[in-house]
């Protein structure tokens, strides 16, 4: 294992195990929990440069942060260099220490707009975007995939393009766009990207536990790992990889619920925490029935009640018992 402090263009991080930006999930309360469990850097949900330009309220909500969140990292997506630079220079992004440009999202609605992973098919435009954003004076990183379709090998070339345009870090997801989030991770291409540049390279994809993190480091030589879906099912994965004590859900869930309610209100907290409890149920006895009950909850009090029964210190109660 190669856990260590990391310096990204003068931004000093306590460790090199990061929380990935995930749309719909990495809000402030979730990031705060993951940072508490050890994440060296936690990215917010991706935000649209166009949405910021037009004053979208949703974009501002996604950018919520507090003074004690340090360092701060956010992810930006778009396909217009001028708008992307304007976003980097905007007051809304001034609190952030690092701005990551999304060139990896495989979702059709993003790709159809020429954004996300579509930019890997337009390297000249991708280069202009990175270059313009770097001119803002902010630290700029880029997250991208190893390619577009199976057999596509462009990770090293794209890594050099990003570095040459001014990126101070890159994150490489080891799958092509057509694989979405399934299938084996191409360690070979991640390694090629790492060997092609001098800036820090972070490996992403298929890291679910300590063993997977070790495998990523050993097979690619990357400078760090980025955790995505694994954190949704078990945020304690950060503590596991960093060899720290892993608190149980009975301790984590109530704090996350109250923090989410404080920040985003009753309705959002109820809906979001029902969803999170369903993730945390993975592998537990009677999970399907517990999920059904959870999604009937109409208040955070009801969610808290079910969570206490599910994640109580004695383990998950059987859903066949009276509740």
Residues 262 and 288 in one domain: yes
CATH code of the domain covering residue 55:
3.20.20.70
**193 vs 152, higher pLDDT:** 193
Residues 222 and 294 in one domain: no
Which residues form the catalytic set? Answer: 105
Between CA 65 and CA 69, with CA 67 as vertex, the angle to 5 degrees is 65
Residue 323: the pLDDT is 24
Q: Please determine, for residue 97, whether its predicted confidence score (pLDDT) is greater than 80.
A: yes
Is residue 210 reached through a cis peptide bond, with omega within 30 degrees of 0 on the bond before it?
A: no
Q: How confident is the model at residue 276 (pLDDT cuts 50, 70, 90)?
A: very high
Q: Are 153 and 189 in contact (CB under 8 A)?
A: yes
Q: What is the mean pLDDT of residues 52-75?
A: 90
Residue 172: the pLDDT is 98
Residues 180 and 290 in one domain: no
Helices and strands of the chain, counted as H and E runs: 15, 10
Instruction: Select from 224, 241, 258 the last residue of a domain.
Output: 241
Tell me the whole-structure pTM to 2 decimals: 0.94
Residues 24 and 135 in one domain: yes
- For residue 130, the enclosing domain spans 6-241
CATH code of the domain covering residue 266:
1.10.1200
Q: How confident is the model at residue 313 (pLDDT cuts 50, 70, 90)?
A: low
Residues 140 and 265 in one domain: no
Q: What is the mean pLDDT of residues 108-115?
A: 94
The Cα–Cα gap between 231 and 282 comes to 12
Helix (H) or strand (E) holding 172: strand 169-176
Strand 73-77, strand 11-13: pairing: unpaired
Helix (H, G, I), strand (E, B) or coil at 265: coil
Compute the chain's Rg from CA coordinates: 20
Residues 177 and 33 in one domain: yes
Residue 146 lies inside a defined structural domain of this protein: yes
Q: What does the pLDDT look like over 49-60, one tens digit per residue? A: 999 988 878 888
Instruction: Select from 208, 223, 241 the last residue of a domain.
Output: 241
Residue 112: the pLDDT is 94
Residue 297: the pLDDT is 95
Q: What rounded mean pLDDT belongs to the chain?
A: 93
Q: What does the pLDDT look like over 154-178, one tens digit per residue? A: 999 999 999 999 999 999 999 999 8
Instruction: Select from 189, 220, 241 the last residue of a domain.
Output: 241
């Amino acid at each position: 294992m190669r856990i260590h402090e990391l310096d990204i263009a003068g931004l000093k991080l306590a460790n090199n195990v990061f929380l990935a930006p995930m749309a719909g999930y990495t809000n402030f309360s979730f990031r705060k929990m993951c940072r508490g469990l050890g994440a060296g850097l936690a990215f917010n949900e991706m935000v649209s440069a166009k949405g910021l330009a037009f004053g979208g309220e949703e974009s501002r909500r996604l950018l919520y942060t507090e003074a004690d969140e340090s360092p701060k990292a956010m992810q930006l997506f778009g396909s217009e260099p001028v708008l992307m630079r304007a976003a980097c220079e905007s007051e809304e992004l001034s609190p952030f220490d690092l701005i990551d440009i999304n060139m990896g999202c495989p979702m059709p609605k993003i790709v159809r707009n020429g954004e996300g992973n579509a930019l890997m098919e337009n390297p000249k435009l991708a280069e202009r975007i990175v270059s313009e954003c770097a001119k803002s004076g902010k630290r700029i990183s880029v997250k991208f995939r190893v390619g577009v379709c199976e057999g596509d090998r462009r990770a090293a070339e794209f890594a050099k393009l990003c570095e040459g345009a001014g990126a101070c870090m890159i994150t490489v997801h080891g799958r092509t766009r057509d694989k979405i989030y399934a299938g084996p991770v191409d360690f070979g291409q991640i390694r090629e990207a790492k060997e092609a540049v001098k800036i820090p390279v972070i490996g992403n994809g298929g890291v679910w536990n300590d063993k997977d993190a070790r495998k990523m480091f050993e097979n690619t030589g990357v400078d760090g790992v980025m955790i995505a879906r694994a954190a949704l099912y078990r945020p304690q994965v950060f503590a596991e990889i960093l060899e720290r004590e892993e608190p149980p859900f009975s301790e984590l869930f109530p704090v996350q619920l109250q923090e989410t309610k404080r920040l985003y209100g009753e309705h959002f907290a109820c809906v979001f925490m029902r969803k999170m409890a369903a993730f945390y149920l993975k592998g537990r006895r009677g999970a399907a029935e517990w999920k059904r009950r959870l999604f009937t909850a109409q208040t955070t009090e009801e969610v808290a009640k079910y969570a206490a029964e599910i994640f109580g210190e004695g383990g998950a109660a059987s859903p066949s018992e009276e509740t």
